[in-house]
Structure 1
Amino acid sequence: MKRMVLWAVIALVLGLGAYIRLAPSAPAQWHIAPIAEVDQDLPGGVLRVVATGPEGLQKLDRIARATPRTSVLAGSVDEGMITYVTRTKWIGFPDYTTVQQDGDTLRIHGRLRFGRRDFGVNKARVDGWLKQM
């Protein structure tokens, strides 16, 4: 009986891990323009509003694409908005970061998909990208 429970727990953990890694990311749900006028630190992410000039998105795109385990979900520099997916190294939790160029202002929304708190991961990544600019 104990062995069956152990195998059930192992199967549950593996199934949950597979779901986290393989769950599809719907652009319609995540590629949404950030709405913010001031910087905000949120329990599940971060909002940043930065004066960068008209080339801000292009500069940030180069930095984001060089970040390990980061890929583009939707958008482009030409469209003026890009959403990136960055996954954690071990489990593969996805975080979504949408960046929009609005004139000379760059609006950035980094947020988690699973859970309620990101323990500052999105803030560290977004602020790190901004420091590289």
Structure 2
Amino acid sequence: MLKKILISVGIVAVAGVAYVRLSPTDLATYHIAPIATMAGDDAGEHSFKAARQITAPAADVLRAVDTLALATARTELVAGSVGEGLMTYETRSALMGYPDYTTVTVVDGADGPLLVINARSRFGSSDLGVNRARVEGWLARLGPLVVPAS
């Protein structure tokens, strides 16, 4: 009896992992330009959005973000391009392969152009802070291309 229960639990676990790793994603849900009018941060339970004023041309800042994103472990560009001015990246967790989606663009803000980065989880009710950490890490590495949050 215990053996059947353990086998059933194992099958359910494998099915869950397979679903997370193999389920198709409707990119239209995630590849949407984030909106911001002022610099600042907006944190949710499974998301984090940051807007920063930029100090260089938008195309240069987006190219720098693209380079950083593609150098991030388990991250790939899944929609958009630097030329389009809107890019969405998928980053998967190391163990379970949970996908997070990060969309990047430059918008006109009240005080000038803003780099807006919106990172969110697809599954679960909490991202354990990984989206915020990723976005803040990218912003820190952009250095003088963005104005730090006050």
* TM-score normalised over the length of structure 1: 0.95
Match of 1:124 among 113, 129, 133: 133
Task: Output the amino acid matched with 2:4.
Answer: M
Q: Unaligned regions of 5+ residues in structure 2, if any?
A: 143-150
Identity %: 42
In the alignment of these two chains, the number of paired residues is 133
Q: Is the 8 A contact 1:34 1:108 kept in 2?
A: yes
1:5 corresponds to which residue? Answer: 5
2:45 corresponds to which residue? Answer: 43
Q: Cα offset for 1:34?
A: 0.7
Secondary structure of the corresponding residue to residue 39 of structure 1:
strand
* TM-score normalised over the length of structure 2: 0.84
Task: Output the amino acid matched with 1:57.
Answer: L
Q: Is the 8 A contact 1:70 1:87 kept in 2?
A: yes
Match of 2:63 among 58, 75, 93: 58
2:72 corresponds to which residue? Answer: 67
Superposed CA RMSD in Å reads 1.1
Q: Is the 8 A contact 2:35 2:107 kept in 1?
A: no
Q: Cα offset for 1:127?
A: 0.4
Task: Output the amino acid matched with 1:34.
Answer: P
Task: Output the amino acid matched with 1:113.
Answer: R
Q: Is the 8 A contact 1:36 1:47 kept in 2?
A: no
- Alignment of 1:115 with 2:124, yes or no, is yes
Instruction: Deviation per CA, 1:22-71: give whole Å up to 9, x if none.
Output: 11122111111112333111111101111123222111111001111000
Q: Cα offset for 1:4?
A: 1.1
Secondary structure of the corresponding residue to residue 90 of structure 2:
strand
Provide the rounded CA distance (Å) in 2 between the counterparts of 1:81 and 1:129: 16
Q: Unaligned regions of 5+ residues in structure 1, if any?
A: none
Q: Is the 8 A contact 1:95 1:110 kept in 2?
A: yes
2:148 corresponds to which residue? Answer: none
2:145 corresponds to which residue? Answer: none
